[in-house]
Amino acid sequence: MKKLTAKSYHTDKNPYLSNSKISLFLKSKVAYKARYIDKTEAPEMTPSLLTGRMVDLAFEKGKVSAIDKAFCSMDLKEYRTSEEKRERVTDTQMENAKAMATKILGSELYKDLKKRK
C-alpha cells in the first residue's frame, strides 16, 4: 500500500474515505455524488473549514509562521484594492488558527510524532 502524504490525501487518487466524505454521504447521497463522483459541485468554504486549513498548513509545515505565508488578515476594502496574493481571513480567524497551531505544535503528542518520522 502506498504511503498517504498530505499531498496525496487531497487528490482524486486517494482511495480512503475521509470524515467529510462519509458525513456528506450520510447527509445526502445526491450531494456526495455531485461532489466526489461527478465533480460538479465545489465544497462550501465555511469559516471553520478555513480555520482548519490554516491549522492544517501549520501542522504540515511544522511551524506557525507557515500561516502568514499563505493567509493575511486585512480590511476587505483594502484587500480588494491591493495586489495581495495570499488568501484573506479575518483577524479572529488568524488569531484562532495561530493559537490552535501553537498549542498543537507545542504538544508532547506532536513532538513524539515528529520523532517517529
pTM: 0.64
| Helix, strand, coil share (%) of the chain residues, nearest 5 | 60, 5, 35
Task: List the pLDDT tens digit at each of the 117 positions of the chain.
Answer: 567 777 777 677 777 777 888 888 898 888 888 888 888 876 677 888 899 999 999 999 999 999 999 999 988 889 989 999 999 999 999 999 999 999 999 999 888 888 886
Please state, in angstroms and rounded to a whole number, the distance separating the CA atoms of residues 89 and 87: 7
CA 58, CA 68: separation in Å to the nearest integer? 10
Helices (H) and strands (E) in the chain, counts: 8, 2
Domain boundaries defined on the chain: 15-44, 47-116
